[in-house]
């Protein structure tokens, strides 16, 4: 309806999709429960996950994203990616950031 009334712009009017707000409204968020991993300080264990490709790209041209979660603090860092091959360089940026922020070294990383 919004596309037909020119309220939003869509490059392909034949797309069959639901808007992001509708999808978010229908979703529920589960809390981060116990992982079974025992950590006693930040950066002892970092979980990582790469998602994508997205069904359509963001306005900035991103098709993928990677998240890093610290098992101890439960802090989450989110990085949008243009290509999946960018994960390696983004990890080095993340590593530099958090090691300076916490004045600690990352001990281990777990990803899928």
User: Does 16 map to a domain?
Assistant: no
Looking up residue 106, the CATH number of its domain turns out to be 3.30.420.10
Positive or negative, the Cα torsion across 95, 96, 100, 101?
A: negative
Mean pLDDT for all residues in the chain = 82
Domain count of the fold of the chain: 1
- Give the pLDDT of residue 38: 83
Largest Cα–Cα distance in the chain?
Answer: 56
User: Does 22 map to a domain?
Assistant: no
Share of the chain above pLDDT 70, in %: 68
User: Does 20 map to a domain?
Assistant: no
- Give the pLDDT confidence of 42-84 residue by residue, as tens digits: 999 999 999 998 887 788 889 999 999 999 999 999 999 999 9
pLDDT at 109 over 90: yes
**Cα pseudo-dihedral 48, 98, 74, 79, rounded to 10:** -50
> What is the residue range of 74's domain?
30-111
Mean pLDDT confidence for 76-99: 95
**Pairwise CA distance, residues 32 & 95, whole Å:** 22
């Amino acid at each position: 309806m919004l596309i037909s009334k020119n309220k939003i712009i869509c490059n392909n009017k034949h797309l069959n999709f639901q808007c992001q707000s509708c999808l978010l409204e229908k979703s529920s968020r589960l809390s981060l429960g116990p992982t079974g991993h025992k950590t006693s300080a930040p950066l002892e264990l970092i979980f990582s996950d790469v998602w994508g490709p997205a069904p359509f790209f963001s306005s900035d041209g991103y098709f993928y994203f990677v998240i890093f979660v610290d098992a101890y603090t439960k802090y989450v860092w989110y990085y949008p990616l243009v290509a999946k091959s960018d994960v390696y360089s983004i990890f080095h940026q993340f590593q530099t950031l958090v090691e300076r922020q916490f004045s600690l070294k990352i001990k281990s990383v777990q990803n899928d």
